[in-house]
Structure 1
């Protein structure tokens, strides 16, 4: 096992070296920020996301540290991602308490017809432009109320979304190893009390990368799980060594992972390639259709419905199940489209000549259990040895706000009552 982890570390180091010349890794510090006197006595919350860490990975691959910490604290049977179960939408749902259709990040890439602009997660300009992001992220909520925050690579944390950035943050890159990220978090917690962040968000991409490239049931993904588990163990030990009072850890993921049928992908209906009539956006596990002439929507829907195969479903967006919160009635930014083609796992849509990965996500987590995410929590504010049922990820936000004594200043979808039982006592 150690040999596998060492190999993964070596692979990451080679990737890091290759990127070194082009990646800006400097920390950005907002000057003049400090904790209020009241904030200095508040608890600490370190919220850790490991991308693609499926709900069963810790037990499946015996992630010893995570199992030990969560066994002594809180384990959820699973956490339900928001739909679609994709990275950017779900990280923003976790950090804002809003469904994707309510905060605007409805996909990793999309077109906004009011702005006449495209958003793509790989576009640095998009990623750091807060006008794309709805809601108030937890770091913004904290900063507005006099509590210093920090973020290491969380989606949107390099933007001014919600009107304010974290006091300490980094533009997104994948140069830092997990151990280097641990050191940066520990260094933040070594700062003087007035400058020390009480809310820290931290992101690890390695498990998702292995799941995509090799699949969820492989040695490579197991090694990635152990790599992160080792980093979490190291982080907890080093934070404990600081002797700070009331440090709480929340470990989450954005979605799960499944091996898809890339060898026999679904064909995109030929009619949709008529660019004079349609735009379509294919994340492979969900295909969104924008019909340019609204008068054609019903007829096109009927045509697509009549010619579909048994391997996918066709929905008018306004008719999509309410529990997904992804229909026209929810689409506050009008970015989704009017017709959705939803493949049945493990099928995907794939344009001719394009490639896919071995593992993917994005399916409905209520239908495809492999999409379910992870939630563990431990620390002085959490009860001990408690297992809770599945819950939606939007409910993490009010729990963090409650621990930190923050007043939620705008409507959210998450409800404190859903997870109130995991806290030791009322604040």
Structure 2
């Protein structure tokens, strides 16, 4: 073998050595990432309340006109879409509640947060992917962050209690302080931080209430405290911050004369039902008894103009929801403002979510600031399924297979963050990301390369092998 060929062989061996597959971002400087979610923050909550800190974040970074969450617009399913980049039918966390149609077991939201088999359903969230590629990750109250995935747990995590007080502003600041210590003292690279407001207040008092407006002011103060904490910790030039949410909120028409009440429908009886998941906002899942599917479907299909009932196979494909095995043979949702009452009327919230994600009230916020983001940029609406690819890009890790498109949010990044000063920035248009009533139906494999070619290891192997063969 000639000397050039020998040198190439050494280079090829180096590429194959342990650690050679480390992400590009691990080479040289790499920024940390903090993803913050304020549950139930509707896209327009900053328009009737003074929010100087969120406004400053938009001036210093990137703001989306709004973000379209996944359907079904519930807390756990939508948050898991953010950290997996998958539509709900593909990641399988299809509801806030764990349920088993055979045992009839149903668990409330907080109990479900700790049920490992509900979350570990074949999809690997970004915490685990980052750790597999040499990073350290943390989850503070974030849904899905307190269970193991394929035997692996998040490096550091905190789980809220069942009786947790979502409104305590002093605790919010203490939680921010803890997260800053995770970055500065524990060396974490990625943290996801969750706050249960303004969702809780929106449910109780309604999205147009003075109480909700007061809570948005508290959220804004917390954003200001968070950004000040980043500066005090010396992380301003080394940390990217994203503030977003899972869904919006709509006022419930509690006094409407046409309430959706299954127990009042003349040709429907619960004696035909084997399992039900009802009285959870505007969604319902039904498992009819054997041989009674057609009877139940006929009784419900056109019984109420505000209720939309489907067989599983006929559910609109644009929702990317019904094809998962956990979905029952019949499912339904109601029009905005209407909840589905089952055996009794037991829902009394003044605000609710879970509606069609094309409805404007269900849209939510997206803000981003940091060394990798452009300044003073407002972008057109996009789907939350694309956020995961952005997170992976910011961390310099190779994503898992997912439904997002890595090109959608590249325009939010500086040219250096995209791939170098000579890399042109793409243009974010409504056509590229889908307009207010448009949902993408294209499935994208997240293992596709970041801009500039294939994954670093694969590209290097191919080039080195070709040169080696030529030199030999």
Class of the TM-score when normalised by the shorter of the 2 chains: 0.7 to 0.9
* Aligned residue pairs, count: 380
| Counterpart-to-counterpart distance in 2, 1:45 and 1:207 | 23
- The equivalences for 1:325-336 within 5 A come to 325-327=320-322, 330-331=323-324, 334-336=325-327
1:127 aligns with 2:113: yes
Give the deviation of 1:66 after TM superposition.
Answer: 0.9
Q: Does 1:101 align with 2:93?
A: no
CA radius of gyration, larger in? 2
Aligned CA-pair RMSD = 2.3
- Gap runs ≥5 in structure 2: 1-21, 420-472
CA contact (8 A) 1:140 1:163 kept: no
Indicate if the aligned counterparts of 2:197 and 2:215 stay in contact, CA closer than 8 A. Answer: yes
Q: Specify the SS of the correspondent of 2:260.
A: coil
Secondary structure of 2:47's counterpart equals: helix
Match of 2:143 in 1: 155
User: How far apart in 2 are the matches of 1:113 and 1:251?
Assistant: 36
Structure 1 residues 172 and 161, CA gap change in structure 2 (3 angstroms): farther
Q: In 2, are the aligned partners of 1:128 and 1:160 still within 8 Å (CA)?
A: no
Is residue 201 of structure 2 the alignment partner of residue 215 of structure 1? no
- After TM superposition, list the pairs within 5 Å mapping 1:221-236 onto structure 2: 221-236=212-227
1:68 matches 2:56:
yes
2:276 aligned partner: 280
Q: Provide the C-alpha distance between the structure 2 equivalents of 1:272 and 1:299, rounded to a whole number of angstroms.
A: 9
Could you tell me how far 1:65 is from its partner in structure 2? 0.4
Q: Which of 282, 299, 302 lines up with 1:303 in the alignment?
A: 299
> What is the TM-score normalised by the length of structure 1?
0.83
- Give the equivalent residue in structure 2 for 1:377: 368
* Matched residue, 2:75: 87
Q: Is the 8 A contact 1:250 1:376 kept in 2?
A: yes
Q: What's 1:393 paired with? A: 384
| Alpha-carbon separation, structure 1, partners of 2:199 and 2:28 | 36
Measured in 2, the distance between the counterparts of 1:114 and 1:250 equals: 41
Quick check: 51-60 or 311-320, which moved more?
A: 311-320
- Superposition map of 1:14-413 within 5 A: 38=26, 41-113=29-101, 117-123=105-111, 126-133=112-119, 134=121, 135-173=123-161, 174-175=164-165, 177-191=171-185, 195-244=186-235, 245-264=237-256, 265-268=259-262, 269=265, 273-275=269-271, 277-282=273-278, 283-293=280-290, 295-306=291-302, 308-327=303-322, 330-331=323-324, 334-351=325-342, 352-366=344-358, 368-408=359-399, 410-413=400-403
Per the alignment, residue 16 of structure 1 pairs with none
Aligned-partner SS, 1:376 = strand
CA-to-partner distance for each residue in 1:57-107, whole Å, 9 max, x for gaps? 123312110111122211111111111111111111111111122111111
Aligned residues of 1:96 and 1:412 also touching (Cα < 8 A): yes
Rounded to whole Å, the distance in 1 between the matches of 2:272 and 2:50 is 53
Which 10-residue stretch deviates more, 255-264 or 106-115?
106-115
Structure 1: stretches of 5+ with no match in the other structure: 1-34
**Alpha-carbon deviation of 1:48?**
0.3
Which shifted more, 283-292 or 75-84?
283-292
Q: CA deviation at 1:162?
A: 4.8
Q: Partners in 1 of 2:27 and 2:131 — Cα distance?
A: 10
- TM-score scaled by structure 2? 0.76
